[in-house]
Amino acid sequence: MPYADLRVFLTKLEACGKLRRIPKPVDKDWEIAAVSKIAFERIPEPRRPALFFERVQGFDIPVVTGVLGASRSIYCLALECDPDEVQEKWGEAELHPIPPRLISDGPVHEIVSLQEKADVTFLPVPTWTVEKDPAPYITSGYIITADPESRRRNVGTYRLQLKGPRKLGLFINYLQGGRHHVEKNNKLKQPTPVAVVIGADPVIGLVSVSRLPQDMDELAVAGGLRGQAVDVVRCVTVDLEVPATAEIVVEGVIKPNEFESEGPFGEYTGYMGPKAMSYILDVQCITHRNRPIFQAFHSQMPPSESSCIRSIGREATLYKHLAEDLGLPVCGVHLLESGGAAAYLVISLKKTHPVQPRTVMCGAWSFAPQFGKITVVVDDDIDIRDVNAVNWALSFRVQPERDVVIMPGMAAVSLDPSQAPVDVPQEDLSRRVSSKIGIDATRKHAFPDVAVPPKEHLELVRKNWQSYGFPEGIL
Ligand SMILES: Cc1cc2nc3c(=O)[nH]c(=O)nc-3n(C[C@H](O)[C@H](O)[C@H](O)COP(=O)(O)O)c2cc1C
């Protein structure tokens, strides 16, 4: 049964023990970021809950973070599937998209504020990297634009800097669907209509942060994921459609060929992303539900919601490419959260031929050129989600002069500060070139037996763990 909206999904999370309500009043200008950070740091990934800040000082709108990706299990609840079905679920939705259904009205239009009344400062937009970000940022906007010629829609999540009551700075990097729309309009010297959706059925967030083929309507893929069309309503002031049950929608236009300094912003790499000349969004209308909920993505230093969400979708598509399209005996793919789900890639392989580890590296790098600056290939006995196990393979299955490949002149991980100084502009081509290292950490010959207690002894101890005096929940 698909989720009707964000509220229904929050109820589901709460019922599953995956939502932590925080009744203590919090300051949006430092505390939401700090509490989210400590929660991500302290609570191990499998148990991390989404956070519901019920009382935000000075605002009557609550804030939620971690709702799509505090953990893999939350992501799977959003997709309504098991972890091993994620790839299939995405594949099916892309093969069988369900176009949105236009309806005449919906809760998102319960309150409509036009022109000077459309003041974004009534929203509890958090400040994330205090004293370094120049302003509060909307991090979880699902930004809807349309191609000026084909009218094909794009939905993408791009950061928005609060610049004034009716002015937002919008950073869209050069690869994104939304950027093509703005550039086309800029050439035609016409404004780009934009709708920013904040808070909706979780699959809309998932399609918004996922790279889908350019000719696909993300809302139709969202329909495919939920098995039912997304109901949409027409915007009030722009020729676009938005989910009828969204919490909040900000409507506006990007003026043609006008740019303003935006950023720096604390990025998914854990470093400040550079200041850039970005688009300006002039707000002309805000619509919202009664008693709306403001959703934010927690980003900055990994682990974060941003790296968790990115890793799951990316791993699924990369696995499909290697295992199904190329037919390689790949068992699993892990884009580590510490590498922002981009820089550090571990792949496990049931090796049947000595060339396969390098074939796998090349397959991964050509399919996802920006990922895997560090790519490690291990045998299938290594748990790729266990950093100790991966480091063990690196330590004792690798001879550096034989097993390491360095590939110069490859695509860079976006915003990787190691590959160009921060004052080199974002648009400079040198920022887009990087080398890669591939490490074949598989066994190349017969190895001695591993030195661990027999499996049955370990199983017995696991079963009787508490009898050794360890408190419940430690294992
Ligand atoms: C929390 C979060 C913040 C993001 N911020 C930006 C951003 O500011 N600019 C950008 O170009 N991409 C950003 N992205 C990445 C895009 O959302 C992602 O690449 C998506 O596929 C873009 O959609 P599109 O392919 O339809 O353009 C962000 C992703 C996440 C998860």
Q: What confidence tens digit (pLDDT) does each residue in 321-335 have?
A: 999 999 999 999 999
409 CA from centroid of ligand 1 (Å): 24
User: Distance between CA atoms of 434 and 419, rounded to whole angstroms?
Assistant: 6
Average pLDDT over residues 268-280: 92
Nearest ligand 1 atom, CA 156: 23
Please name every residue paired with 375 in a beta bridge, in sequence order, or none if there are none: 345, 438
Whether 139 is in the pocket of ligand 1, judged by its Cβ within 6 Å, is: yes
- Contact by Cβ (8 Å): 285, 113: yes
294 CA from centroid of ligand 1 (Å): 19
Question: Hey, what are 229's tokens?
Answer: 């069309």
Whether 248 is in the pocket of ligand 1, judged by its Cβ within 6 Å, is: no
Q: Whose CA is nearest to atom 20 of ligand 1?
A: 209
In a domain, 318, yes or no: no
In a domain, 389, yes or no: yes
- Contact by Cβ (8 Å): 263, 278: yes
Predicted TM-score (pTM) of the model is 0.91
Q: Same structural domain for residues 236 and 274?
A: yes
Q: What confidence tens digit (pLDDT) does each residue in 407-421 have?
A: 999 999 988 989 877
Structure confidence at residue 422 as a pLDDT band (50, 70, 90): low
Nearest ligand 1 atom, CA 155: 26
Q: What confidence tens digit (pLDDT) does each residue in 128-147 have?
A: 999 999 999 999 999 999 99
Lowest-confidence pick of 160-169, 220-229, 295-304: 295-304
Whether 299 is in the pocket of ligand 1, judged by its Cβ within 6 Å, is: yes
Which residue in the block uniquely carries the two structure tokens 């967030």? 205
Q: Same structural domain for residues 41 and 99?
A: yes
Domain of 12?
6-296
Q: Same structural domain for residues 288 and 333?
A: no
pLDDT of residue 10: 98
Average pLDDT over residues 215-229: 96
In a domain, 179, yes or no: yes
In a domain, 338, yes or no: yes
- Contact by Cβ (8 Å): 235, 251: yes
Q: Whose CA is nearest to atom 6 of ligand 1?
A: 158
Q: What confidence tens digit (pLDDT) does each residue in 106-122 have?
A: 999 999 999 999 999 99
Q: Same structural domain for residues 164 and 28?
A: yes
Sign of CA dihedral 335, 337, 343, 348: negative
Tally Cβ neighbours within 10 Å of residue 418.
Answer: 11
pLDDT of residue 367: 93
Average pLDDT over residues 338-359: 97
In a domain, 463, yes or no: no
Question: Hey, what are 319's tokens?
Answer: 């696995």
Whether 320 is in the pocket of ligand 1, judged by its Cβ within 6 Å, is: no
In a domain, 452, yes or no: no
Q: Same structural domain for residues 285 and 387?
A: no
pLDDT of residue 474: 58
Q: Which helix (H) or strand (E) holds 312?
A: helix 305-319
Nearest ligand 1 atom, CA 211: 21
Tally Cβ neighbours within 10 Å of residue 44.
Answer: 8
Which residue in the block uniquely carries the two structure tokens 């920006």? 370
Nearest ligand 1 atom, CA 172: 11
Nearest ligand 1 atom, CA 178: 27
User: Distance between CA atoms of 96 and 80, rounded to whole angstroms?
Assistant: 17
What's the mean pLDDT when you consider all of the chain?
94
Q: What confidence tens digit (pLDDT) does each residue in 457-467 have?
A: 999 999 998 99
User: Distance between CA atoms of 5 and 244, rounded to whole angstroms?
Assistant: 9
Whether 311 is in the pocket of ligand 1, judged by its Cβ within 6 Å, is: no
Whether 280 is in the pocket of ligand 1, judged by its Cβ within 6 Å, is: no
Does residue 404 register a pLDDT over 90?
Answer: yes
Q: Same structural domain for residues 229 and 102?
A: yes
Q: Same structural domain for residues 267 and 374?
A: no
Q: Which of 142, 152, 158, 197 to mutate to test the pocket of ligand 1 (most atoms within 8 A of CB)?
A: 158
Question: Hey, what are 375's tokens?
Answer: 């790519």
Nearest ligand 1 atom, CA 218: 26
Q: Which of 133, 168, 209 to mutate to test the pocket of ligand 1 (most atoms within 8 A of CB)?
A: 209
Q: What confidence tens digit (pLDDT) does each residue in 147-185 have?
A: 999 999 999 999 999 999 999 999 998 879 999 999 999
Whether 210 is in the pocket of ligand 1, judged by its Cβ within 6 Å, is: yes
3-state secondary structure of 321: helix
pLDDT of residue 3: 98
pLDDT of residue 64: 98
3-state secondary structure of 379: strand
From 248, 275, 296, the end of a domain falls on: 296
Structure confidence at residue 228 as a pLDDT band (50, 70, 90): very high
pLDDT of residue 426: 65
Q: What confidence tens digit (pLDDT) does each residue in 63-107 have?
A: 999 999 899 999 999 999 998 898 889 889 999 999 999 999 999
User: Distance between CA atoms of 91 and 93, rounded to whole angstroms?
Assistant: 5
Q: Whose CA is nearest to atom 26 of ligand 1?
A: 156
From 296, 316, 348, the end of a domain falls on: 296
What is the number of domains present in the chain?
2
pLDDT of residue 427: 67
Whether 269 is in the pocket of ligand 1, judged by its Cβ within 6 Å, is: no
Question: Hey, what are 66's tokens?
Answer: 């971690």
Q: What is the CATH number of the domain that holds 386?
A: 3.40.1670.10
In a domain, 460, yes or no: no
Nearest ligand 1 atom, CA 265: 8
pLDDT of residue 88: 87
Q: Same structural domain for residues 114 and 235?
A: yes
Residues contacting 8, CB < 8 A, separation 6+:
201
449 CA from centroid of ligand 1 (Å): 46
E-assigned strand segments in 289-387: 294-296, 330-335, 344-349, 374-379
Whether 179 is in the pocket of ligand 1, judged by its Cβ within 6 Å, is: no
Higher pLDDT, residue 425 or 392: 392
Write the DSSP symbol of residue 26. Answer: B
Query: Residue 134: which of 162, 153, 155 has the closest Cα?
Result: 162
Structure confidence at residue 473 as a pLDDT band (50, 70, 90): low
In a domain, 123, yes or no: yes
